[in-house]
Structure 1
């Protein structure tokens, strides 16, 4: 049985209980982060802590632990669960005010804080050599996709719709433009060899892996532009790939049934995946 961190204590997962009046349960009034773990070390910890602080601020939620405290408790979770490779989820809700109300509770209401581990093979993922298939589906999410909240119902619905269509996942589109994947940032290498990645705005999550990937691309003299691209551009791209904490850099070889790059992972995605993993291991804490 896993040990989880819950409201200041390390306890068995079966002992962690959340009130029926917790705003995370009633309103999805909560933010979260996902940090990958390789060789028992945390990947891009500073980046994830920065985004957590931003999400809390955008939701007018007070900060909880400072970065050094988070680092200490996440390392303790790794040790207590003997996690060599996988993910750590941490989640903060606005807490339990004792009743249901649309209005936010007073500042005295304590947040509910949870962190837990999940074993997962991140390096040896078959999709890295085979590629993913995606379909494009409407982006009907609320207008603040840049805040990493726990209200993920629409993403879950679109993953299930993609699965029913025989695809691995979905890319979301709004007014003919790709915003992002259901739980990943989306990228293509266009017909001119330029890497395109949606600009940072309220329509996409500001991906931590995306930021590291683009920094590496710049150092590798890979031309890139941060702009939205059309579904048609995606379907005719030389390459396509996604980035996230759980996939790193993962090639996409089919979009709406159309083969991308001859149906095989392309060289840019492969180079960036290798570069990202090397960078991640060198900078893990």
Structure 2
């Protein structure tokens, strides 16, 4: 990033340089992880799939009983101004809303707290198909997260620990597995298993974040007559998968080519991944 570019943040109604932005140490997000967030990609200075991102944000706020500080149009106006303050054509915006500042510290939130709203943006590097097609290595790891992973909450310690475990195993990510053997997600992504030309993914429930990239993949499958099935996936199925993918807003769709030090399928990015990658790029640029 060029030193000449001032990176701006929005905090509680004011734009300010990101490196000067500060929150109170009494903010409940800092003390309790009491907040939610969104990550929104921007392509050619246009917000990608904003209605879906907003619906998920609104749902996370409702389930945590945190008031939404802005309506949908005000949110969009804020995002557009943040985008325009930066020269990058492709960006990813981080939004965080906590329950607000409370003193003295107490697990029980005080009534009528004012939420803390933070937003800032970073440049998003273009996706290089040749580079992404090299794939990543992953491991399986116990799903240590809480019972409401469908909320995009800022409490991500278990996700961090899964990433650390992957790094220690010389891998880049982890597929999380419940005690009953069900595979849920990656450490920060939805997962897909491909077998005999069909895309399988775990159904949305309390252990699955309703990913926006996941939603787009499902839409593209319907449009292009690719079979898409939501069902429970058992850990034992991973070793016989033709392909495994991870999907997130900033990484898009990534093939896993090695799992637990063993090749996935042919050990290379698969044909269906290549097709979906191209469909996704066309959808972004439509």
**Does TM, normalized by the shorter one, top 0.5?**
yes
Counterparts of 1:182-193 in structure 2, within 5 Å, are 182-190=187-195, 192-193=196-197
Deviations 1:82-112 (A, max 9, x none): 22223100000000022200101212x2110
2:24 aligned residue: 19
Distance 1:152 1:20, change over 3 A: same
Deviations 1:204-244 (A, max 9, x none): 11111101111111221111210121222112101111111
2:9 aligned residue: 4
Counterparts of 1:124-163 in structure 2, within 5 Å, are 124=128, 127-163=131-167
1:178 aligned residue: 183
Instruction: Tell me the distance in 2 between the aligned counterparts of 1:66 and 1:125.
Output: 37
Q: CA deviation at 1:251?
A: 1.2
Distance 1:118 1:16, change over 3 A: same
Stretch deviating more after TM superposition (47-56 or 228-237): 228-237
Aligned length, in residue pairs = 280
2:212 aligned residue: 208
Q: Is the 8 A contact 1:127 1:250 kept in 2?
A: no
Instruction: Tell me the distance in 1 between the aligned counterparts of 2:129 and 2:86.
Output: 22
2:228 aligned residue: 224
Runs of 4+ that moved beyond 6 A: none
1:240 aligned residue: 244
Q: CA deviation at 1:277?
A: 2.0
Distance 1:126 1:33, change over 3 A: farther
User: What runs of 5+ residues in structure 2 fail to find an aligned partner?
Assistant: 1-5
Q: Is the 8 A contact 1:198 1:229 kept in 2?
A: yes
Q: CA deviation at 1:123?
A: 1.7
Counterparts of 1:246-261 in structure 2, within 5 Å, are 246-261=250-265
2:81 aligned residue: 76
2:39 aligned residue: 34
Deviations 1:133-184 (A, max 9, x none): 1100000110000000000111011101101100011110012121000000
Q: Is the 8 A contact 2:45 2:88 kept in 1?
A: yes
Instruction: Tell me the distance in 2 between the aligned counterparts of 1:228 and 1:86.
Output: 34
Stretch deviating more after TM superposition (165-174 or 212-221): 212-221
Q: Is the 8 A contact 2:162 2:187 kept in 1?
A: yes
Aligned-residue Cα RMSD (Å) equals 1.3
User: What runs of 5+ residues in structure 1 fail to find an aligned partner?
Assistant: none
SS at match of 2:285: helix
Q: Is the 8 A contact 2:27 2:102 kept in 1?
A: yes
Q: Is the 8 A contact 2:197 2:272 kept in 1?
A: no
SS at match of 2:91: strand
Q: Is the 8 A contact 1:43 1:281 kept in 2?
A: no
Instruction: Tell me the distance in 2 between the aligned counterparts of 1:122 and 1:31.
Output: 27
SS at match of 1:262: coil
Which of 85, 98, 103 does residue 90 from structure 2 map onto?
A: 85
Instruction: Tell me the distance in 1 between the aligned counterparts of 2:105 and 2:7.
Output: 31
SS at match of 2:158: helix
